[in-house]
Amino acid sequence: MVAVAQLVEPRVVISAVVGSSPIGHPILRRTGLAICAAFSFLLSGCATPPRDAAPKLFIAGDSTAATYVNTDKNQQGWGAVLQPFFSERKLRVVNAARGGRSSRTFITEGHWDKMVAEVRAGDYVIIQFGHNDAGALNQEPPGSTRPLRARGTIPGIGNETEEIDNVITGKHETVYSFGWYLRKMISDTRSRGATPVLMSLTRTNNWVDGRISCPSDTYRLWDWQTATNEKVAFVDLSRITADRYQREGRAAVTAQFIDDTVHTNVDGAERNAADAVSGLRALRELPFRRMLSAKGRLVPADAGPPPGSVCAPLPD
């Protein structure tokens, strides 16, 4: 406001000087008009919405979406390479995904509150969890060789709870179902005037009898059920990616991963990001298709399950 006032005040003075002569010397008049035009240009420039006025697309997720810098394994998540598919003038991607987090620990560790505090009306929030939700709620079972993480959620989308004294934090905690944590994120997003988008998991590089694995009775199903119940946009990335993997074949898919079956390298991240864009383009009720860059426009919108899809159909 101060800057605008500083620009406006000289313009008023100049107008008074130029208009003070009933005849107006031609040189003075031309000079005054030029100066006024210059100030008008500056003012119009100030009135142009800043670059950050574009809506933002936040990503809340785990390591499969997270950003990695200079890793020895060339690891990368799809959220780190999503921005080039969208015009920065129309949509700004904010990747808040954090490795190792479940829907529960993304919230309890404060990552969700930190992210959602930046969300504004008109923004979008992709919510994608599940890879780490199947772990132990607290103590690992006897004989387990897994590290102690206490990050699991109660399976399903119900209202069950379990009271624990968290072995990691030392604090008492109420643990909820996977669906409960999704509903909280959806509610918080909407309370900010933003639009939530539920996205099913990236697929792992696991094959059975020559077909990529696509479990459809747990997290993919629970994402879909929650999206349906809460009337939230849904991108079935599990199905889109699984069918692409099947088309490409095991050797080509393995080349997109690091030294495990979950985490992608840069090439795999790029392909998963393109799959995410394909799903977002297909959401006709949302404007993502109008926000794409030239690169993004090369990605076709998801046309739905192909004949012989490796993933079971989701219930109506």
The predicted pLDDT at position 36 comes to 37
pLDDT tens per residue, range 224-260: 999 999 999 999 999 999 999 999 999 999 999 999 9
User: Whole-model pTM?
Assistant: 0.83
Q: Answer whether residue 90 shows pLDDT above 70.
A: yes
Please classify residue 215 by burial: count the beta carbons closer than 10 Å to its beta carbon, then call 0-12 exposed, 13-18 middle and 19+ buried. middle
Average pLDDT of the chain, as a whole number: 87
Q: Answer whether residue 37 shows pLDDT above 70.
A: no
Q: Answer whether residue 81 shows pLDDT above 50.
A: yes
The predicted pLDDT at position 52 comes to 59
Question: Which pairs with CB-CB distance under 8 Å and at least 24 residues apart come from 252-260?
Answer: 253/205, 253/212, 254/205, 256/205, 257/205, 258/73, 258/74, 258/75, 259/73
Q: Answer whether residue 48 shows pLDDT above 70.
A: no
For range 129-143, the mean pLDDT: 93
CATH for 55-297, options being 3.10.105.10, 3.40.50.150, 3.40.50.1110, 3.30.450.40: 3.40.50.1110
Q: What are the boundaries of each domain within the chain?
A: 2-47, 55-297
pLDDT > 70 in the chain, percent = 84
For range 138-167, the mean pLDDT: 94
* Residue 18 pLDDT grade (very low, low, confident, very high; cuts 50, 70, 90): very low
The predicted pLDDT at position 272 comes to 98
For range 57-70, the mean pLDDT: 96
Q: Any idea what the Cα angle at residue 97 is, between residues 56 and 211, rounded to 5°? A: 110
pLDDT > 90 in the chain, percent = 79
